Amino acid sequence: MPLSVHFGLARRVPQLTRGLDRLRTFVVSPPVRADQEREARGVAMRYHVTGSWFAAVVNPIFFLNDLVVLPHLAVRFLVLRLLVSAGIIAMLLLRHRFRYGPEQVVLVPFVSISVENAYMWSFMDPTLFRMHSLAYAVLFVGASMIVLWPWKYSMFVIATSFVANLWALGTFSTLSAAEIMANGGTLLVTVALLSAVLIHTRYRQALREIALRLRLEESNARVLEQKAIIEENHRDLTSSIAYSQRIQRAVLSDATTLRAYFPDSFMFQRARDIVSGDLLWCRKLHGRIHLAVADCTGHGVPGALMSMLAHALLNKVVVDDGIREPATILGHLREEVIATLKQRGGQASRDGMDIALCAIDPEASTITFAGAFNPGYLVRDGALIELPADRMPVGLHATEDLPRFSATVTVYRPGDMLYLFSDGFADQFGGPEDKKFGKGRFKGLITSVTSLPAPQQRIRLLGALELWQQDRASVDDVLVAGVRL
């Protein structure tokens, strides 16, 4: 053999191997799990029962065709058709008692009607034989649209039909083998083999679809299970945070505490995440009322922890240590925050707070104010006076040098409104252009409501914020405290 032929065959070996692998994959049914097999058999049973009932009912109706085509054999064919249909109906009625599977339910009518056709067309001449071969082929075409079973059952039906035709044609037909093949035999064999291929293809496709659906259901079940776990954890977490909110409200100063010192006052607070990092602190010591609004680092639970720390440190510095002047209080408070949070060294955190703190002396009608980033507003006769704050936090500063906080003393008049607040109100996004509310708009809002009683001022602030935000989520905690002096 020439060398080029050897090389040509060598190149074709991989192609032949791949072709054999594809054929093996097609012929051998894919492995299925037990649940997939149960599902496939259930689907097949529904199709097969419907198809078998249809065959049992329609088969005797073809007697009308026999009466026209072969009137002298019509009665014999009718008896045969009735016997086949009766057998199919009996099998269907007794399938539960004898626990027939989907294969038996359709195998009986398929084989019975095929044998019936083999017997009947053995009495026909070439013309009728050719016409009946089409009707015989319809049996296999119809089966390919209904039957779902493995390859071996189709081969059994074809083999049984072949044996039945050999017997019937050899016993009753006067046609030669050439006449049989020329007048529909070849067509019938082709259609039978093609129907077996189609049935096997549909069966494999059904198995794949069932496997995909079951895997999807399993995935959905896992997702739902994980979702339930997440929801349960979320409920537990939310419940814990809600309980923390009750503890925070019980510890920190609130509107009731504020009204004890200032009857015409309000506190508007809204947390971004249940618990807040903003706090109100109020104490009366030695004839002066110390009032503070602090905005601690973070939101939610971290912010709430910082707010509790800020409350405790304010009590320590002012109440326990006896520091009374606002600027000095902020300085000591900063030292306590740095020491407590260990804000020394290169890896120190920048946690802390912005705060507006004032000491109000009712006898002298003065406000001593000190602030860390957060100013205060005093509104008198519709004019807003800003109480300035230092541009540094209570906590670790950007530089190692820690400047002293400054304080301002302002004389107030009876009826003036004092406002202390965090930056949360001004930082909320909203409006037609989705911008921050802003300090300028906040000042205008404060000035416009200052003549109203404190409870109505709170309502106006709430309404203005909701109108501004619409359905947008909050970006920060909000706290505004207003007192009429």
Helix axes 34-58, 186-251, angle to 10 degrees: 130
Q: Closest by alpha carbon to 450, among 388, 387, 383, 386?
A: 383
Domain contains 353: yes
Domain contains 232: no
Domain contains 61: yes
C-alpha of 111 from chain center: 51
Q: Which pLDDT score is estimated for 458?
A: 95
Does 197 lie in the same domain as 76? yes
Does 279 lie in the same domain as 201? no
Does 272 lie in the same domain as 172? no
Does 130 lie in the same domain as 59? yes
Does 428 lie in the same domain as 309? yes
Domain count across the chain: 2
Q: CB under 8 Å to 56, separation ≥6 — which residues? A: 85, 88, 89, 92, 109
Q: Which pLDDT score is estimated for 348?
A: 62
Q: Which pLDDT score is estimated for 14?
A: 58
Please give the residue range of the domain that contains residue 137. 20-221
Taking residue 60's Cβ as centre, other Cβ atoms within 10 Å add up to 16
- Residue after which a domain boundary falls, among 221, 241, 260: 221
Q: Which amino acid is at 325?
A: E
Domain contains 271: yes
Does 375 lie in the same domain as 270? yes
Q: Closest by alpha carbon to 402, among 462, 343, 463, 319?
A: 343
Does 313 lie in the same domain as 215? no
Domain contains 226: no
- Residue 383: strand, helix, or coil: strand
Q: Divide the 485 residues of the chain into consecutive groups of 10 and give the mean pLDDT of each group.
A: 49 53 51 78 92 94 89 92 94 93 93 94 90 89 91 93 93 91 91 93 90 88 90 82 72 84 94 88 94 90 87 93 95 92 70 94 96 96 95 81 91 96 95 94 96 96 94 93 96
Tens-place pLDDT, residues 271-301: 888 888 899 999 999 899 999 999 998 888 8
- Residue after which a domain boundary falls, among 201, 221, 241: 221
Does 263 lie in the same domain as 201? no
CATH number at residue 342: 3.60.40.10
Domain contains 229: no
Q: Which pLDDT score is estimated for 15?
A: 55
DSSP string, 197-218: HHHHHHHHHHHHHHHHHHHHHH
Domain contains 25: yes
Does 468 lie in the same domain as 383? yes
Does 411 lie in the same domain as 470? yes
Q: Which amino acid is at 47?
A: Y
Does 100 lie in the same domain as 33? yes
Q: Which pLDDT score is estimated for 18?
A: 56
Domain contains 63: yes
Task: Provide the whole-model pTM.
Answer: 0.62
Does 330 lie in the same domain as 288? yes
